[in-house]
Structure 1
Amino acid sequence: MASTFIENQFQFAEMNIQHRGNPEKTLSLVRRAIRMGYDCVVINTDIGSINQNIEDVLQESTEEPPKKKKKKGKRENVIPDPVEIDVSKVNTADLEVAGTKFRLFSRLTVTLTDSTSVHTLMHHPQAHKYDLIAVRPSDDRILQTLSRKGDFVDIITYEQTSTSIPWLYGKSGLIQTCITEGLSFEITYAEALKDSSQRRQVLTNARQLLLVTKGGRGVVLASGAEEIIDLRAPYDAANLSILFGGRPEDSRKFLAGNAKRALLRAQSRKTIKGAMVVTNAEEIPSRLVNRKNELERLMSVPEFRAQLEVVEGSSKDSKEASKDIDK
């Protein structure tokens, strides 16, 4: 699905609604997010490691008989098409009354374990179909690679309940470099709502991320919701950021300003790249200027004159060589 222009009326973004293979369930999550006040929703397809068996990508919640397992060792790169949601089935009247416009984006999340997986994702044609690309680096070496060659990535995330995230602890300089390059880091809160042991680890990791990003610079907050009960309204979610160590006055930016920054980065990747030269109006050549005068002006540039002499010299040599052949 194509992204639309991020207008100034942008309010709140839900950057991570999980799609698990059931379009109707995903649609119900989108409807709930809109009713809660989100005018921007991102549907996330998380495939885990990019090299895996095709039947492990999405688990269909249907009554169809399970497909036969493929032989172990026969692995392939699997990136499905972005999920298609019928926006006509979504009621956006409340957003329109508030003067905002509903936007729907697609997102792909991939776990990167080595340089091969980085290269595969970077050049995979299926990845280009998604509006946003999020990655889960396994170690600080992958993160260092992304800090230098991460133009194809928008968001860096991690397993929120993990007790082992090497790059999150002791690599503050590397994280700051990634943010300077335009990458965003993600915190999701759904796991923190489930049980106390998971909540403790989510809080620990989130606090560390806000610490190394100096108060949440470049950090987005999302639900990571798989069920409706996992979703929270924008201001409730913003209040959760205070539990993560954020300041009350900064709580809105995790769902608004920082989220908009990530979306604009993703959108800019789909635009045409070019260069622009700024000069004074009087220095712009007129269409009526004599070509001879313009050539004389160019000849006053040493580099142009040297290049012209080289071309003329080579032309003379070719003519002399052709004369010798004729003789």
Structure 2
Amino acid sequence: MSSSFVDDHFQFAEMNIRHTGNMDETMAMVRRAVRMGYDCVVINTDIGQMMQEDGGEPPHKKKKKGGKERNVIPNPVNIDCSQLDTSMLEANGKRLRIFSRLTTTISNSTEVHLLMHHPQLKKYDLIAVRPSDDQILQTLSKKGDFVDIITYEQASTSVGWLNKSKIIQLCINDGITFEITYADALKDSSQRREVLTNGRQLLMSTKGGNGVVIASGAERMIDIRAPYDAANISVLFGVLPGCARKFVASNAKKALLRAESRKTLKGGVLVRTKEDLPKNLTVRLNVIEKIMRIPEFRAQMEIVKNEVGKETEKN
């Protein structure tokens, strides 16, 4: 894959700011994340259960034939970046990127198929799934090309698949990232205990956090922590301090690159405009030098130079 924006300019990602319908609150959380130093922010639209029996009360639903109800997948949240102050990021050669994310709970193979072929799916940058059990996790390990993140109810006492290390490793080997969020741990001691227990089990199953990201899962500004503070939360799960940064940096980067590659032809080509280059001239020069190291690009430049030379001789 050619060098992408995330690949060149990425530093820290807040992978889960939850949009609950209040646009002002969501914008306030994005502003806080930017001030804290995140240059990639993911806005999460969580629709809950993908399919529900009659009698349920999901926030957004549409009647479906066969006596069931299906949650309507809304359009991604649109963030107006002109309302954000990104001057500190730009001064450090960074550029803010906003990603959209859809999260849903999957309980059976029918829902996997429904989500996989849903027309709204292509509108989102990242797709996250909460598998109800290890059978769904097994299915995602084989048919999860459309999934970027696997998550769970952080304070739940019944996440039965967290100790299924072999299946989890299959998912990670296929490029899927697992997520721990810390917002629930900030609420009360009982939830904190369950968040820590579940997180420790996941890190054991992933051999120390390989393929795991830590995000806020914030619904309020107060729930967001700065990048290094968020990374250091991993120490509470048993991670050594020297290994903490990857949970908001390199592991998050892999998930974002997977999302970007899906928008290209088999991850082969990613086109960016000149506006995507950083404003800092030194950093811009470094980016151009990286591009010039791509053999195909250098060859194309030689072809263009030769054609320009021929046109000049004619004139």
TM-score by length of 1: 0.76
Q: Deviations over 1:225-284 (max 9, x none)?
A: 000110000111111110011111110000000000001111111111399xxxxxxxxx
| 1:253 partnered with 2:246 | yes
Structure 1 pair 7–274 and aligned structure 2 pair: CA distance change class (3 A): closer
Contact 2:155-2:194 at 8 Å conserved across structures: yes
Contact 2:51-2:111 at 8 Å conserved across structures: yes
Q: Deviations over 1:85-116 (max 9, x none)?
A: 11100110010111111000000001000001
Contact 1:39-1:102 at 8 Å conserved across structures: yes
Alignment match, 2:85: 91
Within 5 Å, which residues of 2 pair with 1:37-186? Answer: 37-52=37-52, 56-57=58-59, 75-169=69-163, 171-186=164-179
Query: 1:22 Cα shift?
Result: 1.3
Within 5 Å, which residues of 2 pair with 1:225-304? Answer: 225-273=218-266
**Hey, what's the Cα distance between the residues in 2 that align with 1:18 and 1:77?**
17
**Hey, what's the Cα distance between the residues in 2 that align with 1:100 and 1:272?**
27
**Hey, what's the Cα distance between the residues in 1 that align with 2:258 and 2:143?**
15
Query: 1:55 Cα shift?
Result: 7.2
**Hey, what's the Cα distance between the residues in 2 that align with 1:141 and 1:101?**
40
Alignment match, 2:193: 200
Contact 1:51-1:78 at 8 Å conserved across structures: no
**Hey, what's the Cα distance between the residues in 1 that align with 2:267 and 2:91?**
39
Secondary structure at 2:156 match in 1 = coil
Q: Partner amino acid for 2:145?
A: D
Q: Which has the higher contact order (CA 8 A, sep 6+)?
A: 2
**Hey, what's the Cα distance between the residues in 2 that align with 1:274 and 1:209?**
29
Query: 1:45 Cα shift?
Result: 0.3
Contact 1:113-1:142 at 8 Å conserved across structures: yes
Point out where structure 2 has 5 or more consecutive residues left out of the alignment. 269-315
Alignment match, 1:35: 35
**Hey, what's the Cα distance between the residues in 2 that align with 1:74 and 1:29?**
35
Contact 1:15-1:43 at 8 Å conserved across structures: yes
**Higher-Rg member (1/2):** 1
Secondary structure at 2:48 match in 1 = strand
TM-score by length of 2: 0.79
Secondary structure at 1:75 match in 2 = strand
Contact 1:242-1:251 at 8 Å conserved across structures: yes
Alignment length (residue pairs): 260
